[in-house]
Chains A and B, each alone.
Chain A
Amino acid sequence: AQSVTQPDIHITVSEGASLELRCNYSYGATPYLFWYVQSPGQGLQLLLKYFSGDTLVQGIKGFEAEFKRSQSSFNLRKPSVHWSDAAEYFCAVMDSSYKLIFGSGTRLLVRP
């Protein structure tokens, strides 16, 4: 069965520091992968997506993610974190019936 694992429940970084959020997926075919961000009380906003092609994907707000098929990973990165990046981040894979399967999320805290 398809699944997404986000091994880090919480991550705390200092403002200006780099960030990497981990995501591992289980999916038999070519995965369609997504990263979403959710601020408190808000819905989900798409940061970036990978369908095919270049394995390094650029998204909004300065985020990027790298698809590594050999490691079944799709980690999210940002070179310099801003206080406004504090939120919950969800990795997701789209299955063959077009539904999104989400990980349990990583809560990012930013130290001033």
Chain B
Amino acid sequence: DAGVTQSPTHLIKTRGQHVTLRCSPISGHKSVSWYQQVLGQGPQFIFQYYEKEERGRGNFPDRFSARQFPNYSSELNVNALLLGDSALYLCASSLGGGRHNEQFFGPGTRLTVL
């Protein structure tokens, strides 16, 4: 069974550019969450989507946006990149949006901003 997949694996951008990261959840999962993991820290919550609706948003600026498509895949967009946006971006999927639903993580996209 395919797990959560993310693309691309690695990405190098320069300050001020825009980036789009993609996530495909496990088949049958309707909820996707995005996390940012800066080197040496734990992941920090960015967004959660359930049934294509935004269910939660972390403490990130409006440069960060996301959406979920009818097939439950998701995109995370970051505009006007800053050096501090360099991080591992993790996507997690779960069956539903409730507390009992285990979140399964993908391998992440490593973003480097120069």
- Interface size of A by CB at 8 A reads 23
Interface residues of A, dominant DSSP: strand
Q: Is A53 an interface residue when CB atoms closer than 8 A count as contact?
A: no
Tell me the bound Cα distance from A89 to B113 in angstroms: 26
Q: Kindly count the residue-residue contacts between A and B in the assembled complex, taking CB atoms under 8 Å apart.
A: 59
* Shortest Cβ gap from B25 to chain A (Å): 13
- Interface size of B by CB at 8 A reads 27
B104 cross-chain contacts in A, Cβ below 8 A? 46
Query: Could you pull out 16 A-B pairs where Cβ atoms are within 8 angstroms?
Result: A4-B42, A41-B107, A44-B43, A44-B90, A44-B92, A45-B105, A97-B55, A97-B56, A98-B56, A98-B97, A99-B45, A100-B92, A102-B43, A103-B42, A104-B41, A104-B42
A residues bordering B, Cβ < 8 Å? 4, 32, 36, 41-46, 49, 51, 90, 92, 94, 97-105
B residues bordering A, Cβ < 8 Å? 4, 33, 35, 40-45, 48, 55-56, 58, 90, 92, 97-108
